[in-house]
Amino acid sequence: MSKIKPSKGAPYARILGVGGYRPTRVVPNEVILEKIDSSDEWIRSRSGITTRHWASPEETVTAMSVEAAGKAIADAGITPEQIGGVIVSTVSHFKQTPAVATEIADKIGAVKPAAFDISAGCAGFGYGLTLAKGMIVEGSSEYVLVIGVERLSDLTDLEDRATAFLFGDGAGAVVVGPANEPGIGPTVWGSEGDKSETIKQTVPWTDYRSGEVEKFPAITQEGQAVFRWAVFEMAKVAQQALDAAGMSVADLDVFIPHQANMRIIDSMVKTLKLPEHVTVARDIETTGNTSAASIPLAMERLLATGKAKSGDTALVIGFGAGLVYAATVVTLP
């Protein structure tokens, strides 16, 4: 018989507050067209993007995260000292160590929280949300800050016609805390590493350091392969998340998919046969693809504009490089 005491966490967890930060510089398609042979019409028809935000030198991964975190903490009605965990999902923090989460935790005023980074691409927010839920139910933290943040402009090849127009910068954050009823459903997550070449960094950092390549590494992808996978396979994952939560599409109020591409979003809506009453996040139009930040940024905007409201039931799904994915049903803060 084990002598270990059982954990004494909360019975359930939910999102209590959300915050976002978009860099001040707004970049229209015309700027992208300076380096690639394309057109505004082509970019809009292929992606749905009209503008995106690019960070200034001062708008670092840390600075954007601190801004978003402060808003989420205020929205949750708690103090930074109550934060017991900080999870940051990013692929664009260029220091291998220490984790940027530790710096962010210090700057927001958290007191000795668990703090770590995760690298799960565009599914990173869902991964972080699931880990936060486990920490709260397990009892190691009462409140956990989950941040998705990217400066993808640093990893964009502006001469790559397939990706130059896609990426944007920003940070989104949520506070996850205890609840007396389920506020975050079971997560359906996984990976398909045999498809890892479809979205990747062009070359390792060591190739650039050694001079084997002169061009700074960037993110590249096989657009058609990613599109097919996202539309057909992720619709299945989304349905599995609904099934795991004991719900149908008719029970949903909001659908917040990763903001990868407007065509992917619209195709998923059609494949899932979402009813007309379900509000669909389409933040991609003016924010671009911000990877791990896209879901919390879209969530924050829906709530801020009144298109979604506190207590709504939302299906969230992230998918991207790896290939990795994570989907769950949540109650909006």
Active site residues: 122, 258, 289
Angle formed by the axes of helices 100-108 and 61-76, nearest 10°: 50
Identify the residue whose tokens are 């070359």: 203
- 34, 65 in Cβ contact below 8 A? no
User: Could you tell me the two tokens for 176?
Assistant: 């996850």
Report the distance separating Cα 59 and Cα 57, nearest Å. 6
Strands (E), the chain: 12-21, 25-28, 51-54, 83-89, 114-118, 143-151, 169-179, 188-191, 199-201, 219-221, 254-257, 279-280, 313-320, 324-331
Angle formed by the axes of helices 234-244 and 262-272, nearest 10°: 50
- 254, 272 in Cβ contact below 8 A? no
**Amino acid identity of 102?**
T
* Half-sphere CA count of 33, side-chain side, radius 13 A: 12
Buried b (16+ CB within 10 A) or exposed e, 78-101: bebebbbbbbbbbbbbeeeeebbb
- CA angle, 121 as apex, 120 and 125 as ends, to 5°? 70
Buried b (16+ CB within 10 A) or exposed e, 241-266: bbeebeeebeebbbbbbbbbbbbbbe
Identify the residue whose tokens are 């924010």: 287
Q: Give the closest residue to 158 by CA, choosing from 93, 215, 240.
A: 215
According to DSSP, the residues that pair with 184 across neighbouring strands are 330
